[in-house]
Amino acid sequence: MGSRIEATSEGHTSTGCHRFAITRDGGMVLVDDVRRRRAIWLLIALAAVVVLGIAVSPAARKPAPVFRPQVVGYYVDEAGPTGSLGSLREHVQELDVFSPLWHSIYPDGSVDSKVNPEALEIARRARLQILPLINAGENDDTFLRDPAARDRAIAGIMEAVRRYNYDGVFLDVQLLPENGKTFAGSRDLLTDFVRRLRDRLKAERKTLAMAVIPQFETSPDVSAIYDYGALARLVDRVALMTYDRHQTSSPPGPVAPFGWVEGNIKDALKKGFRPGQILLGIATYGYDWPAGQAGGFSRPTREILERAGRLGAEVKWDERFQEPYYVYTAPGDRPREVWFENKHTLKQKISLVRKYRLAGVAIWRLGFEEDDFWRTLRASLRPGAGR
């Protein structure tokens, strides 16, 4: 007995439980097969669109770069356990930039050289960028005011760059008030010096970095020599020396209070520096004052902690300033007050580097740090650590 065939209103036919579509040549195919084939072709088309979208998407072609701040290590040759050489040997793999204090500019424009061949070789083997720290050998701006001394200084710097095959220089001109004299009036002269030096360095494809004293809540007598806006257009990197908020000549207080440091980051950005130019200064030391009085002296963090242990002093944490301190009384002495930077303040400062996407940190200096400093640095800089 044959199947019962019924016509439908949609041009389909039905044979019992099966429905057929009539083809152009009069044949018949199952309607379910037609729908299945259409679904398959639709899925293929959608897959092609997805694959094509992935192929042409810039984000898919190039993943977002991982944020990895640079680490600059300032180096000073000094006898004893707080010299920088031992720290460089042990922790060179943690650094990106090696900045040794080997050259100074004197008032007549002469530039001296006191290079440590062993330290230089360690840095070269580790493939670090080498930017020697070049400071003012005396608190005197004659090399800025006298054109002949200025030109001699720039020539001397370039001679050192070529002789030691440096990658550039790290300029550190600090001219501090003395006997009532300030150097704010030499602001344009310093900018001109930096511009001339930059032109010479760039002609030889070298880097120019510069350390500057912070200007937020800092006396203009100390910091006004730096024209932040002009310097931002000249230097590749700028290191904010965000420490010494309290120092030898001030009463006791935090060395690098968190709010002050952040205020100086904002100030530098407002005045023209880009986040990718800024290196945040990190201190590895503190100060020891007569309690409540000026007249303190600096100590490396490692010595400060060792002394606290020997004296049984209780190290406390100041929540407002985000910095540790302690008070002690040495035998035969009056009470003294110590504020200092350590691994905990380091972690806080790196949180600011991440928050503002800064270029990195500049550590003053190798050899002063406590044992756990590098472990904290490594963990804080690890990708995703700040999330």
Helices marked H in 126-257: 142-145, 147-163, 187-203, 220-223, 228-232
118 domain-assigned: yes
Residues 165, 184, single domain; the answer is: yes
At residue 115, φ and ψ (nearest 5 deg) are: -85, 135
Query: In the numeric block, which tokens belong to residue 184?
Result: 């704010």
Please, are residues 196 and 236 in contact by the beta-carbon 8 Å criterion?
Answer: no
Category of 314 on φ-ψ map: left (φ > 0), alpha (ψ -120 to 50) or beta: beta
The per-residue pLDDT for 384 is: 73
Helix/strand/coil for 54: helix
| Domain count for the chain | 2
Q: How far apart are CA 42 and CA 38, in angstroms?
A: 6
The CATH number linked to 295 is 3.20.20.80
Residue identified by tokens 């963090």 is: 301
The per-residue pLDDT for 4 is: 37
188's enclosing H/E stretch is: helix 187-203
386 domain-assigned: no
The per-residue pLDDT for 67 is: 86
Q: How far apart are CA 20 and CA 31, in angstroms?
A: 5
371 domain-assigned: yes
387 domain-assigned: no
Residues 36, 103, single domain; the answer is: no
Residues 45, 100, single domain; the answer is: no
186 domain-assigned: yes
Strand pairing partners for 22?
28
- 128 DSSP 8-state letter: -
Please, are residues 228 and 215 in contact by the beta-carbon 8 Å criterion?
Answer: yes
144 domain-assigned: yes
The per-residue pLDDT for 170 is: 99
Residue ending a domain, choose from 34, 60, 86: 60
Instruction: Give the range of the structural domain holding residue 34, as residue numbers without chain letter.
Output: 5-60
Q: How far apart are CA 34 and CA 22, in angstroms?
A: 11
Cis peptide preceding 365, ω within 30 of 0: yes
Strand pairing partners for 290?
336
Residues 186, 46, single domain; the answer is: no
65 domain-assigned: no
Residue ending a domain, choose from 35, 60, 85: 60
Q: Is pTM beyond 0.75 here?
A: yes
Residues 286, 370, single domain; the answer is: yes
Strands 70-75 and 360-364: parallel
Residues 49, 198, single domain; the answer is: no
Residues 9, 102, single domain; the answer is: no
pLDDT tens digits, the chain, 387 residues: what are they? Answer: 443 333 444 444 444 444 444 455 555 444 455 566 665 666 665 655 455 555 545 555 566 677 899 999 999 999 999 999 999 999 999 999 999 999 999 999 999 999 999 999 999 999 999 999 999 999 999 999 999 999 999 999 999 999 999 999 999 999 999 999 999 999 999 999 999 999 999 999 999 999 999 999 999 999 999 999 999 999 999 999 999 999 999 999 999 999 999 999 999 999 999 999 999 999 999 999 999 999 999 999 999 999 999 999 999 999 999 999 999 998 888 999 999 999 999 999 999 999 999 999 999 999 999 999 999 999 999 887 766
Residues 96, 55, single domain; the answer is: no
pLDDT tens-place string over residues 331-358 = 888 999 999 999 999 999 999 999 999 9
The per-residue pLDDT for 27 is: 52
Residues 117, 56, single domain; the answer is: no
Residues 346, 229, single domain; the answer is: yes
Nearest to 364 by CA among 172, 139, 119: 172
Residues 32, 93, single domain; the answer is: no
pLDDT tens-place string over residues 197-208 = 999 999 999 999
286 domain-assigned: yes
Strand pairing partners for 181?
178
Q: How far apart are CA 237 and CA 233, in angstroms?
A: 10
Residue ending a domain, choose from 13, 30, 60: 60
Residues 53, 141, single domain; the answer is: no
